[in-house]
Structure 1
């Protein structure tokens, strides 16, 4: 079934840069980066299916992350030339998948903590897989009935950011996540089943900036480390003191590094 076009916020003119937000968030995540780049590039920040300004994803309709990949591929197909892709977390996985499947549409990549967990399985990376098990072994995390609920979001957010993070969030922020919770649950369930290995990513030959936070979960750190060894034109950057939400908590540093990467790519 074909989806309606994604809502896309846009700024500026020039080579296209597509900013792909993380799961549970929206294109608003990238506003500061978009403002920084708009003087040089045509910046497009889509809301993923069911997110932001798009219609909510029906709670009774199955979802798998390939649907977001397809919707973004359609967006890339409307552009006059290849685009620079920037992605965070789930958005990083989508950007990597697009680069792998549609290399002719992608000029460069910049991803922070992409959840390409298939590389951990292919490499039998025990540090990363053991860390993933912290989430998978929590019965709430895989519970179909609780998926996307307050209890599930607590398990999800606290895995990425530390115990107590979910309860410490302001109520409006928690409500925003819960509005898209069911779709996020299905995103996570399907990406956890992905087994795309390093051999597939080794074909991603465009310039790639692979970023992670010093305090990101071990699984995320191992993913970008393994990818940096497989992608032929990869640069690996760690942000001291940052965690998984580095593009927000350390936005000025991350945005500066992305802008530098784009200027060289």
Structure 2
């Protein structure tokens, strides 16, 4: 069984943090420093990210597989914990909250990429066409061994063309190396979503964060979730895009801290 890598720091109520695709637990360093005086933070590396081994197959990766791999983390977190995730990590966090509804004290997600929900409810929308195109292009590039092209398509979509071009060659190369591990995560993000009943059973306070400047697909998923989730508060942050928890933590982290302090 794969053992996930966990960064732990701080004392107090436990917060489990799940990162975006092509990222790792390191993306939460600034948040961890901000919270460490009041909270115990467990930042996790998901399959194929950071120091956690990749998905071994042979079956396609599912969100349930990510959640099962994190069983040691849930045990480490204790009887009650706060749960948060960004992008792909947000999708995993939502799935985990459904499975552990009695243990999650509060749930905060920044644009969870549950694209199976978008394809199911709005398959003919511009947002669905947009994200399905990105998936098809990156998958084709990876399959043909063109990892640089896959990273450029993926990075420019989520960061924006200018922000991607502004990255150092080293950062772009690191993204290219991460692309093979993104492919199983695409599969999980586009899989059959939870039912409306399962979403409706989430009884904990839920904060649904996003960026005003984010992609159409990410904002569409957040809109659909806001209509299905009980006890949810949706907030779109001005000047922020999909990757703002990584690129602009000074804008996102105060909103996270306020939510945690309240709940």
TM-score, normalised with respect to structure 2 = 0.89
What corresponds to 1:64 in structure 2? Answer: 61
What corresponds to 2:157 in structure 1? Answer: 159
Distance in 2 (CA, whole Å) between partners of 1:107 and 1:72 is 17
Distance in 2 (CA, whole Å) between partners of 1:197 and 1:157 is 31
Native 8 Å contact 1:141 1:147 kept in 2: no
CA 1:140/1:46 → structure 2, altered by over 3 Å: closer, same or farther?
closer
What corresponds to 1:145 in structure 2? Answer: 143
What corresponds to 1:135 in structure 2? Answer: 134
* Equivalent in 206, 210, 229 of residue 208 of structure 2: 210
Distance in 1 (CA, whole Å) between partners of 2:200 and 2:55 is 36
What corresponds to 1:21 in structure 2? Answer: 19
Comparing 211-220 and 118-127, the one that deviates more? 118-127
Superposition RMSD in Å: 2.3
What corresponds to 1:35 in structure 2? Answer: 33
Indicate yes or no: 2:54 matched with 1:85: no
TM-score, normalised with respect to structure 1 = 0.88
Instruction: Identify, as 1 or 2, the structure richer in helix.
Output: 2
Distance in 1 (CA, whole Å) between partners of 2:140 and 2:81 is 36
**1:194-205 counterparts in 2 under 5 A?**
194-205=192-203
CA 1:257/1:32 → structure 2, altered by over 3 Å: closer, same or farther?
same
Distance in 2 (CA, whole Å) between partners of 1:172 and 1:144 is 19
What corresponds to 1:235 in structure 2? Answer: 233
* Equivalent in 216, 219, 222 of residue 221 of structure 1: 219
Question: Structure 1 unaligned runs (5+)?
Answer: none
